[in-house]
């Protein structure tokens, strides 16, 4: 048998943490805040685009968490429950401030190829239709991880449509499992994968453009 899924390990740690929070353990609360607060601000920023408003909404989220922790049933991980609250509050706030984001915006939007079709040989090519016209360039690791390229990655993520941004941020930036992301954002597994695919593809195109400009 395989080892317990990461999800189950998180759930087991959560139950101790939740007990400590309910008992008023300040260190447990501070630990949770240290783990999640910066990620919550990053997440809220994507909906709100003002740091001050994002901080407001995150503080409101903590208030709801503290209010409702006694009712938390452990059906999802603690952090996916918290980010679910945060996503709702951030969306509500964005709507109130005129940055209306309909819930449907979290669903996949229209189809878009992962790679520009011009990068492939034409469908009429006698032998290699649909194959690379020219192979992609390998990315030198030190360049990919440079401060400058990472800033481009961050910008590319920030410019994504809401649903794609929310998914890629939780999956790739924060390192969550697909199950937690689905729980948090109320997405089906399939929609989550479609959003992740579009998001990663767009960000990859941005990185490729950036890296290739540097290495003509």
The distance of closest approach from Cβ of residue 95 to another protein in the complex, given in angstroms and rounded to an integer, is 25
The distance of closest approach from Cβ of residue 29 to another protein in the complex, given in angstroms and rounded to an integer, is 5
Which residues, including other chains, have CB under 8 Å from residue 173's CB and lie 6 or more apart? 39, 42, 157
Judged by CB, which is closer to another protein: 98, or 213? 213
Residues that bind another protein in the complex, under the rule CB under 8 A: 24, 26, 29-30, 33-35, 37-39, 42, 55, 59, 62-63, 66-67, 113-115, 117, 120, 129-132, 135-139, 141, 144-145, 149-150, 153-154, 157, 168, 172-175, 178, 189, 193, 196-197, 200-201, 203-204, 207-208
Judged by CB, which is closer to another protein: 98, or 142? 142
Residues 195 and 111: their CA atoms lie apart, in Å, by: 11
User: To 10 degrees, what angle do helices 26-48 and 78-96 make?
Assistant: 40
Question: What is the largest distance, in Å, between two alpha-carbon atoms of the chain?
Answer: 72
Judged by CB, which is closer to another protein: 103, or 212? 212
The distance of closest approach from Cβ of residue 102 to another protein in the complex, given in angstroms and rounded to an integer, is 25
Judged by CB, which is closer to another protein: 95, or 128? 128
Residues 143 and 155: their CA atoms lie apart, in Å, by: 17
The distance of closest approach from Cβ of residue 100 to another protein in the complex, given in angstroms and rounded to an integer, is 27
The distance of closest approach from Cβ of residue 48 to another protein in the complex, given in angstroms and rounded to an integer, is 17
The distance of closest approach from Cβ of residue 98 to another protein in the complex, given in angstroms and rounded to an integer, is 27
Residues 48 and 97: their CA atoms lie apart, in Å, by: 9
Hey, what are 49's tokens? 């685009």
Judged by CB, which is closer to another protein: 47, or 62? 62
Closest alpha carbon to 45 in 128, 160, 129: 160
Judged by CB, which is closer to another protein: 98, or 123? 123
User: Do residues 165 and 198 touch, judged by C-beta distance below 8 A?
Assistant: no
Residues 207 and 84: their CA atoms lie apart, in Å, by: 30
Hey, what are 176's tokens? 């969550």
């Amino acid at each position: 048998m395989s080892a317990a899924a990461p999800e189950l390990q998180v759930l087991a740690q959560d139950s101790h943490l939740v007990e400590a929070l309910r008992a008023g353990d300040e260190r447990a609360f501070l630990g949770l805040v240290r783990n999640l607060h910066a990620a919550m601000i990053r997440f809220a920023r994507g909906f709100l685009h003002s740091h001050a408003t994002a901080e407001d909404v995150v503080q409101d989220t903590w208030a709801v968490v503290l209010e409702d922790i006694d009712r938390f049933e452990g059906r999802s991980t603690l952090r996916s429950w918290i980010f679910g609250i945060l996503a709702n509050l951030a969306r509500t706030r964005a709507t109130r401030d005129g940055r209306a984001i309909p819930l449907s915006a979290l669903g996949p939007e229209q189809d878009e190829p992962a790679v520009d079709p011009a990068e492939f040989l034409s469908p009429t090519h006698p032998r290699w239709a649909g194959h690379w016209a020219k192979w992609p360039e390998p990315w030198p690791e030190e360049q990919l991880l440079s401060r400058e390229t990472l800033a481009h990655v961050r910008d590319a993520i920030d410019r994504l449509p809401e649903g794609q941004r929310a998914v890629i941020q939780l999956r790739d930036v924060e390192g969550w499992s697909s199950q937690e992301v689905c729980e948090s954002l109320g997405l089906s597994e399939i929609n989550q994968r479609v959003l992740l695919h579009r998001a990663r593809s767009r960000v990859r195109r941005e990185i490729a453009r950036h890296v290739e400009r540097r290495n003509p």
